[in-house]
Structure 1
């Protein structure tokens, strides 16, 4: 189950090998979690997920509107949970707190630092891997990744830093989003892959960061942002 700050949740259940994802509540307007279920920004599979492409990958969504200022954004914190269900009765086997932070450096910098947080909350040890992408917003066309037309931008990056841990992983991922295409909007994307050794499901939480634009030579968070695709 992935729980969000608005109280909504997604349930990941391990029940005789069948994995389901279910919004915990409904309403007249989609919650962050329900929207995530609809557009694929939170999914569960029985194996690893990897994406390699030059157009931006799909299913990455904004989780929360927590823009602090022109240089700092953080997602809502979430809780990835593994429920073990038997004869209709479910118990939480494990849970991991997850969050993404985005920081711009200001001045002439064209880099951002993405704070990746996973924190063992309860139950069995967890493993964590991630995929990073950088996107360029292209009006009336399919968005492309930052390194597609700009060799100065860092491209796709992945790592699996946590294996069978009951601790906290807090890492600052510093990447270059490119010195060129300065008239366009750019945004980061990070997919978290949470799993538990001995259990097949993998929970994928796809974070889209806040849009950035260059104002008077300085990259800043835009006043408003896209929410994902």
Structure 2
């Protein structure tokens, strides 16, 4: 089995519904019977709860996916940081995948330095348009869905994610709607922030628990 821990801050005032929808879309699209998911909602996104859940894996490998806000050096809710330098070593032997803002600048390298296999995230502020949330979510979760459902490396899934961004941007740019064109521009900006660190040859089969 592949242990998979997914955090989502459904309690966030501004983007709680968006983070929750991101989770629900991911759950619908995972088509791999080897995935053993566990979920942490906004109330459980704390350093203590994260540590407790990770300990249940008994030092086995796992995947961590985060739908929440981020800063350069952490993932956070409105009240707590729940991934930062104090627990970065707990993500040793993992694939760490986050849609949060900023976190690939300091947190990503910190995780890799502490033994995280691979990291996918964004290097600056990620913008969304709520009325186009399906397009944004489809792009943001594309690589992790591809990685879990297909026999591809995280590096190839990351390249496929860029193609998904390209396809979505081109479709919107071909519209006569100014709102579509503005959304395409925002997606193009987000795409430039995409970052992958660590082992790009990592496969889902490498993350099976012992």
- Which one has the bigger strand percentage? 1
Question: Do Structure 1 and Structure 2 share a fold, with TM-score over 0.5?
Answer: no
TM-score, normalising length from structure 2? 0.28
Name the larger-Rg structure: 1
TM-score, normalising length from structure 1? 0.27
- Which one has the bigger helix percentage? 2
